[in-house]
Structure 1
Amino acid sequence: MKSAVENLNPTRVRLTVEVPFEELKSNLDAAYKKINQQVTVPGFRKGKIPARVIDQRFGRGAVLEEAVNDALPGLYQSAVEEGELNPLGQPEVDITELKDNELLAFTAEVDVRPKIEIPDYSGIEVTVEAAEVSDEDVDKAVEQLRERFASTSVVERAAAEGDVVKIDLEAKVDGEVLDDGVANGVDYTIGSGELLDGIDDAVTGLEAGATATFTSELKGGSAAGKEAEVKVDVTSVSARELPELDDDFAQLASEFDTLDELREDSRKRLGQSKKYEQATEAQEKVLDELIGLAEIPVPEKLLEDEVNTRKHNLINHQLAQMGIDLAAYLKMQDKSEEDFDAELKEQAEKGIKTQFLLDELVNTEKLNVSQEELTEHLMRRAQSSGMSPDQFAQAVVEGGQVPMLVGEVARGKALAVVVEAATVKDSNGEVVDLDDEDETAETVAADAEASDDTEVASAEAEADKPEGDKPETDKA
């Protein structure tokens, strides 16, 4: 077999392959055997029909077609290995010449990983927010905890801001009550903004047994995005009472004996949270700078597939669960569909570039993933998915996603290498020392990458399928 590689552009190649006919002998034998099992010819036992009879009765062309289809995946894979290519997805194959007992020639066009030169990233410098915790931050955290321990008691007066009202709701659109527009016994805190726009003004000043109507744009359900006439019946009004901020409250709401100890613990927790946010911000900005320094071509087909998959997932999973369609979502976001598509394409392109670049860094820096690192990453992913580690691990193994997780960890380590070499300062001009940057780098790298269904790893897995799993090629 002879093969040659032609670079059509930085991300696509054309393979030209010529195969002497003698190399197809095993495929021809297999084709005759397969046809033998599928057909019957009077005078011959099933499976014992001579090749010349098959040629006469069914045509040599049928045999050649079966043999070529059987041979092409292996021939293509051999040409890929000979050309030292990293294909993405399935090839477009065209048989250019088929001479019986002489020659098979075909071309295969396929997207490939581009060759990327890692830029000098030692000079990257970014600025992040200072991880400072103010007294106001502590006050807010303690007040939120205090809100959780508030008690309520029914009062015989008009409702005011901060009160909890128990209400029944009925929404109409075009004069018709919606099937999903009725809700009874809803507890609502006036001023919380957790229900429909306009409800605070409608219920403020009402006593138990009173009714009001108002108009509001529905945020979810079958009529999401439409104006509705909403009737609200107040069945009770309750005042909220907050506990005193003293040592008794600290003992009630925490494991601490004094309010000062509770406040100090809140300050510590807020500091840790801000440090994590600071590390995440630093890694996101360093990644953006790194991508900006590198020349990273993106295969058009891969980008198109990624955009389509992201859009499909949003519409059919996230928005479907919310009970709204894309038009309603865009209205809520105050975006045109053109702006939305452009934003989606930009995100998808960044995701693909991130994976290309960090994978190249993994190879350049010769970074490996240990079993301990993989286990820790699996535990974090399980926690974020809401599954137990055992359930998540089983799903990963059954779905063949272990290489994907290994890739996530490796790319996180690659990003951490770049962040370590970069200069990170806070808004006060102080150099930031980032702790546990591998863990946050994994999160940043994974968030920036392509979506699960069409990420580059999936495209490569598709290209690496066993021969029997590959689709049939087009024939000339």
Structure 2
Amino acid sequence: MKSAVETLNPTRVRLTVEVPFEELKDSLDAAYQKINQQVTVKGFRKGKIPARVIDQRFGRGAVLEEAVNDALPKFYTEAVNEAELTPLGQPEVDITELKDGETLNFTAEVDIRPTLEIPDYSGIEVEVDAIEVSDEDVEKSVEQLRERFASTSPVERAAEDGDVVTIDLEAKVDGDVLEDGVASGVSYTIGSGELLDGIDEAVKGLSAGEEATFTSELKGGSAAGREAEVTVKVTQVAARELPELDDDFAQLASEFDTLDELKADSTKRLANMKQYDQATQAQERVLDKLLELVEVPVPEKLLEDEVNTRKHNLEHHQLGQMGLTLDKYLEIQGKTAEEFDTETREAAVKGIKTQFVLDELVKKENLGVNQEELTEHLMRRAASSGMSPDQFAQAVVEGGQVPLLVGEVARGKALAVVVEAATVKDTNGEIVDLDDEDEETEETTEATESADEKTEG
């Protein structure tokens, strides 16, 4: 077999392959055997029909077509390996010549990973937010904890903001009560925004036993997205009472004996959260700087596939679970379809470039992934997926996704190398020493893992 490579652009090549006919022998034998099992010819036992009879009855062309279809993947793979290419996606194959008993010639156009030059990245400098915990931050944290320990008690008055009301609901569309549009004994905090648009205005001012009707777009159920006439009846009004901020509250809400100790712990926790946010911010900004340094051509077909995948996942998985349509989501976000398309495309480009650059760094820095690192990453992914580690690991193995996880870990390590070499300062001008820089960030993982399936092999 002979093959030659023609570079069409930095991310696409055309392979021209010439196969001597004798190399088709195994595939021809297999084609005759397959046809033997599928047809019957009077006077011959099934599976024992001679090749010449098959040629006469069904045509040599049918046999050649079966043989070529069987052989092409093998010859294509051999040509790819010989040229040391890294293809992306499936090739476009065109048989240019097929002469029975002489030769098989074909071309295969396919996208490939571009060759990248990673420049010196040690000069990267980024600025991140300083870690500052204000008294206001601490007070807000303690107040949120106080809200969790609020109690309620029934009151004989009209409902007000912040009250907890017990309500019955009935939704009608086009005058008919929906089967799944009736609910009784629902507990709702006025002002929380957790139910239907317009419900706060409807229940405020109502006392127990009173009702009101309002119009709202349903967020879920059989008539999700449609306008409904909703009747709400208040059966109880309860006022929320917050505990006093004192040492007794500290003992009730935490393991601490005094309010001062509770506030000190809140200060420490907030500082740790801001430190994590600072590290994530540093990694994101270093990644952006790194991508600016490298010229990364993006295969158009890969980009279109990635854009479509992102749109499909958002529309049919994330929004579907929330009972939202894409149009409603865009309305809530205040975006036009054109703005959404532009943002999705930009995110897809960044995701693909991120993977290409970090994968190149993995090779350049000779980074490997050991079992412990892979296990730790698997545990994190399992936790975020809501599955047990064993369930997640089984799904990964059965789905052949282990190489993808290895790639995610390796790319996280590659980014950590760049972050470690970069100069990171906070907004106060102080040098930031990142302790957890060896952790791959959620930003990096999300930016790359969705492109993994299309760029592996």
TM-score with structure 2 setting the length: 0.95
Question: 1:386-401, aligned counterparts within 5 Å?
Answer: 386-401=386-401
Q: Quick check: 2:219–2:323 contact (8 Å CA) kept in 1? A: no
Determine helix, strand or coil for the equivalent of 1:89: strand
2:285 is equivalent to residue 285 of structure 1: yes
Provide the residue aligned with 1:470 in structure 2. Answer: none
Counterpart CA distance in 2 for 1:330 and 1:346 is 17
**Following the alignment from structure 1 to structure 2, what is the Cα–Cα distance between the partners of residues 176 and 433?**
64
Query: How far off is 1:322 after superposition?
Result: 1.7
Contact 1:124–1:423 (CA under 8 A) maintained in structure 2: yes
Query: Helix, strand or coil: the match of 1:98?
Result: strand
In structure 1, C-alpha distance between the alignment counterparts of 2:141 and 2:423, rounded to whole Å: 32
2:68 aligned partner? 68
1:412 aligned partner: 412
2:31 pairs with 1:31:
yes
**Unpaired stretches in structure 2, ≥5 consecutive residues:** none
Number of the residue aligned with 1:468 = none
Per-residue CA deviations over 1:170-222 (Å, capped at 9, x if unaligned) read 34455554444433222222233333343333323322112233444444445
Number of equivalenced pairs: 457
Counterpart amino acid of 2:376? Answer: E
Question: Which residue does 1:129 correspond to in 2?
Answer: 129
SS in 1 for 2:406: helix
Q: Give 1:445's aligned amino acid.
A: T
Per-residue CA deviation, residues 68-126 of structure 1 (Å, 9 max, x unaligned), is 11211111000001111000111111110011111110000111111111133222221
Deviates more, 1:17-26 or 1:189-198: 189-198
Letter in 2 for 1:253: A
Counterpart in the other structure of 1:144: 144
Aligned 1:220-369 pairs, distance under 5 A: 220-225=220-225, 227-369=227-369
Indicate the larger mover: 71-80 or 20-29: 20-29
What's the offset of the Cα at 1:5?
Answer: 0.5
Alpha-carbon offset, residue 442 of structure 1: 4.0
Q: 1:223 to 1:328 in 2, by over 3 A?
A: farther
Whether the 8 Å CA contact 1:92–1:109 is kept in 2: the answer is yes
Instruction: Provide the identity percentage.
Output: 78
1:302-351 CA distance string (max 9 Å, x none): 11111111111222222222222222222222222222122111111111
Please say if residues 408 and 449 of structure 2, whose CA atoms lie closer than 8 Å, have aligned partners that are also in contact.
no
SS at match of 1:438: coil
Looking at structure 2, the residues matched to 176 and 338 of structure 1 have their Cα atoms a distance apart, in angstroms, of 37
Q: Is residue 153 of structure 2 the alignment partner of residue 158 of structure 1?
A: no
Distance 2:350 2:123 in 1: 22
Distance in 1 (alpha carbons) for counterparts of 2:198 and 2:30:
74
1:47 match: 47
1:458 aligns with 2:453: yes
State which drifts further: 426-435 or 400-409.
426-435
Check 1:375–1:409 CA distance in 2 against 1; reply closer, same or farther (3 A cut). Answer: same
**Paired position in structure 1 for 2:190:** 190
Structure 1 165/48 Cα, relative in aligned 2: closer, same or farther at 3 Å?
A: closer
Indicate the residue corresponding to 1:207 in structure 2. Answer: 207
1:359 CA displacement:
0.6
Question: CA, structure 1 residues 388+209, in 2 after alignment: closer, same or farther (shift >3 Å)?
Answer: same
Letter in structure 1 aligned against 2:108: A
Residues 12 and 110 in structure 2, CA contact (< 8 A), matched pair in contact too: yes
SS at match of 2:438: helix
Cα deviation per residue 1:2-54 (whole Å; 9 max; x = unaligned)?
10001111111110000111222222222223223333333333333332232
Matched residues in 1 for 2:66 and 2:401: separation? 33
In the TM superposition, residue 127 of structure 1 has moved relative to its aligned partner by 1.4
- Residue 87, structure 1, aligned to residue 82, structure 2: no
SS of 2:184 mapped into structure 1: strand
Unaligned runs of 5+ in 1: 464-476
Which residue of structure 2 lines up, in the alignment, with residue 101 of structure 1?
Answer: 101
- Is residue 352–residue 450 contact of structure 1 (8 Å, CA) maintained in 2? no
C-alpha separation between the residues in 1 aligned to 2:52 and 2:198? 85
AA aligned opposite 2:297: P
Q: Does 1:423 align with 2:418?
A: no
Kept in 2: contact 1:413–1:442 (CA 8 A): no
State the shift of 1:229 in Å.
Answer: 4.0
CA shift, 1:366, in A, is 0.6
Per chain length, whose mean CA-contact separation is higher, i.e. which structure has more relative contact order (CA < 8 Å, sep 6+)? 1
Partners of 2:177 and 2:56 lie apart in 1 by: 74
What is residue 469 of structure 1 aligned with on the other side? none
Please give the alpha-carbon distance, in whole angstroms, between the structure 2 residues aligned to 1:443 and 1:12: 31
1:422-461 deviation line (CA, Å, top 9, x unaligned)? 111112121111111222x24221122252xxx2x32355
